[in-house]
């Protein structure tokens, strides 16, 4: 601390930031077009990155498995999702040995437009479908 400044507080000339609680979708909060799809793609990409890491694959090995180049894998795990369709991300998950289930729910009329969500299964496949052993 410089001499003569002890105990003094500096007043900021900047206005206070307004803080508001966000929704469950940061992309919609930021006004990104198709925020629901952007969030779903981000969550799918996170699942892909987790699957790659869980299998102990490096980016070159993952690229070979996914039939893309290493730069695409790098973009994918870093969240650069331009050029990756939802369908392509779903195929990547299948290639990594992950099952993907799509569930469609009816919505009440008062709720308006439906939403797109990605949920990770909390239960193992054997708990859901049975182990196949008797």
What is the pLDDT, as a whole number, of residue 65? 97
Total domains in the chain come to 1
pLDDT in tens, 63-80: 999 999 999 999 999 999
Domain region containing 47 = 33-105+117-122
Q: Is residue 79 assigned to a domain?
A: yes
Per-residue b or e along 59-87, where b marks 16 or more CB atoms closer than 10 Å to that residue's CB: beebbebbebeeebbebbbeeebeebeee
Comparing CA positions, the residue from 59, 55, 58 lying closest to residue 71 is 59
CATH number at residue 69: 1.10.260.40
What is the pLDDT, as a whole number, of residue 96? 97
Residue 29's contacts (CB-CB under 8 Å, 6 or more residues apart) are 22, 23, 35
pLDDT in tens, 78-108: 999 999 999 999 999 999 999 998 888 787 7
Q: Is residue 61 assigned to a domain?
A: yes
Q: Is residue 96 assigned to a domain?
A: yes
Distance CA 50, CA 34 (A): 24
Q: Is residue 75 assigned to a domain?
A: yes
């Amino acid at each position: 601390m410089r001499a003569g400044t002890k105990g003094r507080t500096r007043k900021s000339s900047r206005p206070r930031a307004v803080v508001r609680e966000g929704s469950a979708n940061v992309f919609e909060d930021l006004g990104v077009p198709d925020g629901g799809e952007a969030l779903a793609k981000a969550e799918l990409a996170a699942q892909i990155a987790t699957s790659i890491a869980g299998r102990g694959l490096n980016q070159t090995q993952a690229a070979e498995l996914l039939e893309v180049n290493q730069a695409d894998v790098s973009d994918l795990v870093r969240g650069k999702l331009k050029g990756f369709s939802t369908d392509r991300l779903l195929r990547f998950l299948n290639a990594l040995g992950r099952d993907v289930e799509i569930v469609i729910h009816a919505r009440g009329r008062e709720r308006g437009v439906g939403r797109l969500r990605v949920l990770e299964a909390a239960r193992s496949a054997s708990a859901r479908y049975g182990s196949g052993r008797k």
